[in-house]
Amino acid sequence: MRASLKAVVLFGLLLAAAAAFPQEKSQPGKTPEEYEKEEFSPFLKALRRGEIILFGSFPITLFLTFEVYDLGRFFANDRRMEYAPWPVRPPNAEPYTTEETIGVLVTAVSLSLALAVADYLIGRIVAKRAAHRSNQGR
């Protein structure tokens, strides 16, 4: 009960802060300008893309890592129902230990990082091939 009351109070404070400090009207001549083509270096663009892939893939890798870990844990414990994977897990299921949770999180982050690095390497290979083809065409 206390946690829900705290959540409601926090939400109310956030709404009050948003209402107290509204954004000013946009005035003519103060419209945002588009970025120049060379405003950001290729390294920063690649870093931003990697960041988006890392954080975007994390929920998926976390879910899949938990599912694979649940299945492995279920079969390692002789398929006892206390260790059943998520869709059929009973209410009295065996909780994860701290070490298990940390292991799953580290694995999920590592998989997300591997996806971001793989995307970067594939992008480099594709760019080099495109540059090589354009040089051969001249």
Q: 129 lies in which domain range?
A: 39-136
**CA atoms of 124 and 131, how far apart (whole Å):** 11
| Structural domain includes residue 130 | yes
pTM flag (> 0.75): no
| Structural domain includes residue 60 | yes
| Structural domain includes residue 84 | yes
Q: What is the pLDDT of residues 128-138, one digit of tens each?
A: 888 888 887 66
| Structural domain includes residue 9 | no
| Structural domain includes residue 17 | no
Structural domains in the chain (count): 1
| Structural domain includes residue 79 | yes
| Structural domain includes residue 70 | yes
**Longest alpha-carbon distance in the chain:** 73
User: How far separated are the first and last CA of the chain, in Å rounded?
Assistant: 73
**CA atoms of 106 and 113, how far apart (whole Å):** 10
Tokens standing for residue 134: 């354009």
Q: What is the pLDDT of residues 16-31, one digit of tens each?
A: 776 666 666 666 667 7
